[in-house]
Amino acid sequence: MTTPEKYVTAAYCVVFAVVLVYLLIMALKLQRLERDVDDLAGRVPDEDEEETSQEPAQVG
Amino acid sequence: MLVTTALVFVFFVAPNDASDLGFAQRIFYFHVSIAFTAYACFAGGAWNALRHLWKRDPRADLESYVCIHQGLIFGTLVLLTGSIWAKIAWGKWWIWSEDELVLFLVLYLFYCAYFMLRFSVDDGPQRANLSAVYALFGVVLIPVSFAAIRLAKAYFHPEVFTLHGPNFGGSILVTYCIVQAAMLVLGYTLYRLELGAKLLDVRLRRLREVLA
């Protein structure tokens, strides 16, 4: 490999590495957001649970 | 897909430079395209900042922030690939006496300071307004940085576009257009990805406040 070829390869590897690092950071951020969504979903009471916990009332 | 096509064109279709740069000239395709994408991101940031100041839309402020963040990432790539190019073409990684290099660094540092300003103020309308005004001032530096390439004196910085059109033709022009399109699409995709995550983050924060 000649010197210019090494430099060109280095330049393209730098571009690839920076984009890859950025995507990795974004993936970690999305993972954290997913955990937050799960956490919030856990705090919201389940609809079925709410329905069964209600006492039956006589109508009419 | 477009990036892969661009790489194929750069390495297998575009010819070697006739001057002493030879194979090393292939850095030019990505370096220039990334620089234009960075300028486009900064211009987009300024446009969204203007929209925010005009309509007081919090989403426009967020879009401006994401645009500038993308511009900074592409700006980092311009500096890195430019330095490698400078080492091959001029034998030095960086030359402080060259206006075009220093002016791009000034532009880059100006937008780095945008984040320092943004995160030094509490979240709210004041932060959004200050950031928007700052982003609008920054856009003035783009034509200055672009014009500096034409004013380069001691060392020769290649002039890609003149008033009479691009300074090249044939397969070089086709390759350049494909790489430019690839970089713009990549920039836009990353912008949409980051904006989506930011919007989700904002909505989750509000939801957490309601549930608390």
- CA-to-CA dists, residue A16 to A23, A33, B3, B7, B30, angstroms: 11, 26, 11, 12, 11
Q: Which of B22, B80, B208 sits opposite A14 (nearest CB)?
A: B80
Q: What pLDDT sits at residue B12? A: 79
Q: Is residue B117 predicted with pLDDT exceeding 60?
A: yes
Question: What is the distance in angstroms between the Cα of A50 and the nearest Cα belonging to chain B?
Answer: 17
Contact state of A40 with B200 under an 8 Å Cβ cutoff: no
Q: CA neighbours within 13 Å on the CB side: how many for B29?
A: 30
Whole-number mean pLDDT of chain B? Answer: 85
Could you give the CA distance from residue A30 to residue A32 in angstroms, rounded to a whole number? 5
Chain B (41-60) residues lying within 8 Å, Cβ to Cβ, of chain A? none
Quote the minimal CA–CA distance from A1 to chain B in Å: 12
In chain B, residues with a C-beta closer than 8 Å to the C-beta of A19 are 186, 190
**CB–CB contact B201 A40 (8 Å):** no
The answer as to whether B120 is a domain residue is yes
When pLDDT is averaged across residues B149-154 and rounded to a whole number, the result is 61
With respect to residue B13, please indicate whether it lies within any of the assigned structural domains. Answer: no
Mean pLDDT of A4-32: 91
- On whether residue B6 sits in a domain, the answer given is no
Model confidence pLDDT, tens digit, residues B76-89: 999 999 999 888 88
Q: By percentage, how much of chain A surpasses pLDDT 70?
A: 73
Q: Is B186 on the interface with A (CB under 8 A)?
A: yes
In a domain, B179, yes or no: yes
Task: Tell whether B106 is covered by a domain.
Answer: yes
pLDDT of B121 higher than 80 = yes
Res. B4 pLDDT band, cuts 50 70 90: confident
Q: What is the ipTM of this complex?
A: 0.79
pLDDT at B65: 95
| B33 part of a folded domain | yes
Q: Is B80 on the interface with A (CB under 8 A)?
A: yes
Higher pLDDT, A53 or B138: B138
Cβ contact, residue pair B81, A4, below 8 Å: no
Is residue B7 included in any domain, yes or no?
no
A-chain residues near B186 (CB < 8 A) = 19
Task: Flag whether B32 is in a domain.
Answer: yes
Of B84, B194, B197, the CB nearest to A11: B84
Domain of residue B175 covers 26-157+170-211
Number of domains in chain B: 1
Q: Rounded to a whole number, what is the distance in Å from the CA of B27 to chain A's nearest CA?
A: 6
